């Protein structure tokens, strides 16, 4: 199992696509350079184009006898500079980085000052008007618990069971950065970005304060907020047992 970090800006998400560069493809290329064999690589999630990862886990199988710590250095020599392997460990053959994950944590970062921040270009959403953080904090609490998140799932997703349990949902503000942190046992397609769009629409008054419980029970994607841009989204933790 490899643990990765990457800046998603230059990639069309995780998963290999026919005509676009992806993170998965770059990691497979690096593994092939090091081991001489192109191996399947299974990820813990399909991050979208432009989404970043501070922790992403993926699993491959290799006959190579390189020790784990040497493999980290060898892969990093071949990977593009906007991604890196931070850890490598042996797992059992039946381990699956997606199905065996107990849950994940994402952060959505909003730079909330009038002027752009060049250090956060492509790494946070820029909102110029001063956000009412207390209002967003009150709204974020309504995501907590076990709900059908159909209203917070992109149209076209084929997932049938849309019940997820959100265990953390907070909004913090520090030095101009407003951060939404959310953990759950699983996430639907675009779920965090629609949650953030909904929080921003509640903040601006476009959606009514206290509307989240009724959005959840109605399950209508059209009634929820907009999909916030990918650039602010980070996969920050993947939780496994043991």
- As annotated, the active-site residues are 48
Tell me: does residue 83 bind its own copies (CB under 8 A): yes
Give the list of residues 6+ apart from residue 180 with CB closer than 8 angstroms, or none.
107, 108, 110, 136, 140, 169, 170, 171, 192, 195, 196, 199
CA–CA distance, 14 with 240 (Å, rounded to integer): 20
**Nearer Cβ to its own copies, position 123 or 162?**
123
Does residue 84 interact with its own copies by CB under 8 A? yes
Point out which span in 31-39, 113-121, 151-159, 187-195 binds its own copies (CB under 8 A). 113-121
- 8 A C-beta contact, residue 230 and residue 50: yes
Q: Is 110 in contact with 125 (CB distance < 8 Å)?
A: yes
Cβ neighbours of residue 94 under 8 Å, at least 6 residues apart? none
Token representation of residue 112: 């909330």
Check if the beta carbon of residue 191 is closer than 8 Å to that of residue 152: yes
Closer of 49 and 218 to its own copies (Cβ): 49
Show the tokens assigned to 190. 């675009």
From 17, 25, 78, 82, residue interacting with its own copies (rule: CB under 8 A) = 82
Instruction: Single out the residue of 98, 123, 138, 162 in contact with its own copies (rule: CB under 8 A).
Output: 123
Is 214 a binding residue for its own copies by CB under 8 A? The answer is no
Number of C-alpha atoms within 13 angstroms, CB side, residue 209? 9
Nearer to its own copies by C-beta: 83 or 188?
83
Which of 38, 61, 68, 121 lies at the binding interface for its own copies (CB under 8 A)?
Answer: 121
The only residue of 114, 130, 145, 213 in contact with its own copies, by rule CB under 8 A? 114
Shorter beta-carbon distance to its own copies: residue 137 or 179: 179
Q: Residue 123 in 3-state DSSP?
A: coil
Say how far residue 51 (Cα) sits from the centre of its chain: 6
Footprint of its own copies on 13-72 (CB under 8 A)? 52, 54, 69, 72
Q: Which parts of this chain interact with its own copies (CB under 8 A)?
A: 5-7, 52, 54, 69, 72-73, 76, 81-87, 113-119, 121, 123
């Amino acid at each position: 199992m490899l643990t990765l970090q990457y800046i998603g800006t230059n990639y069309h998400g995780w998963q290999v696509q026919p005509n676009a560069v992806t993170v998965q493809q770059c990691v497979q290329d690096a593994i092939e350079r090091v081991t001489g064999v192109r191996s399947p690589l299974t990820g813990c999630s399909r991050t979208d184009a432009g989404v970043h990862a501070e922790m992403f886990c993926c699993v491959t199988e290799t006959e190579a006898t390189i020790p784990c710590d040497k493999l980290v250095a060898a892969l990093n020599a071949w990977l593009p500079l906007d991604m890196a392997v931070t850890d490598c460990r042996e797992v059992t053959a039946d381990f699956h980085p997606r199905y065996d994950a107990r849950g994940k944590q994402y952060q959505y970062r909003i730079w909330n000052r009038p002027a752009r921040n060049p250090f956060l270009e492509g790494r946070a959403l820029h909102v110029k008007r001063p956000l009412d953080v207390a209002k967003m904090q009150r709204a974020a609490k309504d995501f907590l618990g076990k709900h059908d998140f159909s209203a917070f799932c992109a149209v076209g997703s084929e997932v049938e069971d849309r019940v997820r349990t959100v265990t953390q949902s907070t909004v913090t503000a520090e030095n101009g950065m407003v951060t939404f942190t959310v953990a759950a046992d699983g996430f639907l397609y675009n779920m965090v970005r629609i949650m953030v769009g909904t929080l921003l629409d509640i903040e601006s008054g476009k959606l009514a304060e206290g509307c989240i419980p009724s959005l959840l029970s109605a399950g209508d994607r059209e009634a929820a907020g907009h999909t916030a841009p990918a650039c602010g989204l980070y996969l920050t933790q993947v939780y496994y047992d043991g």
